[in-house]
A = this chain, B = another copy of it.
C-alpha cells in the first residue's frame, strides 16, 4: 500500500503568505503513486452507475481521463472561456478577487446521464460548484464529486450539498 501523502509536497506561502500549497507533482511523477491514486479515486464511487466522467481544466483532466478509461465511459472537459469551439453552456462564479467562468458544450452530455465529477483538490468548492451548475443545465444527474485531496477546514463539502463529495486524502478538520 502506497502512502500517498508522502508524495504530496507542502509548499509554504504559495500562492500567498500563510497558505500551504499541496503540490501533487511528486505524486504524479512517481509511477506507483500515480497508479495508486488513480485506483483510490476509482474506488470512491465504486459500484454506482456512471455514464460519463467530467472535470474542469487543467489539473482535473489528469485524473479524470484515466478514470473514464478505467470505467469504460466517456470524458467531458469543462473549460475556461475561449477554449470550446461549439455552442456552450456558461457559468460565472466569484473568486476572492474578481470572477471566473466555465464552459461546457451543450451536447457534451445527454439528459438523464449520470455524471461523476473529478478534481485533484477540494478547497472552497467554487470551481466544483460551477461544474455542478453547468451539468444541471444539461439535465444530467451529478452522481457525486471525487477528489484526490480535501482541505476539510475550507467548507467546500457543505457548499456542494446536496451533491456527495468523497476524497482520497484529507487535510485538517
Question: What's the number of copies of this chain in the assembled complex?
Answer: 2
Contacts of A11 in B (CB 8 A): 85-86
A61 on interface, CB distance cutoff 8 Å: yes
Contacts of A9 in B (CB 8 A): 86
Residue ID in chain B nearest A57 by CB atoms: B58
A69 touches B68 (CB 8 A): no
Q: Which of B23, B74, B77 contacts A30 (CB 8 A)?
A: B74
B61 touches A15 (CB 8 A): no
Across the A-B interface, give the 6 residue pairs with the lowest CB-CB distance, nearest first: A58-B58, A57-B58, A29-B74, A11-B85, A14-B85, A61-B61
B-binding residues in A (CB < 8 A): 9, 11, 14-15, 21, 23, 25, 28-31, 34-35, 38, 52, 57-59, 61-63, 65-66, 68-69, 72-77, 79, 82-86, 105, 108-109
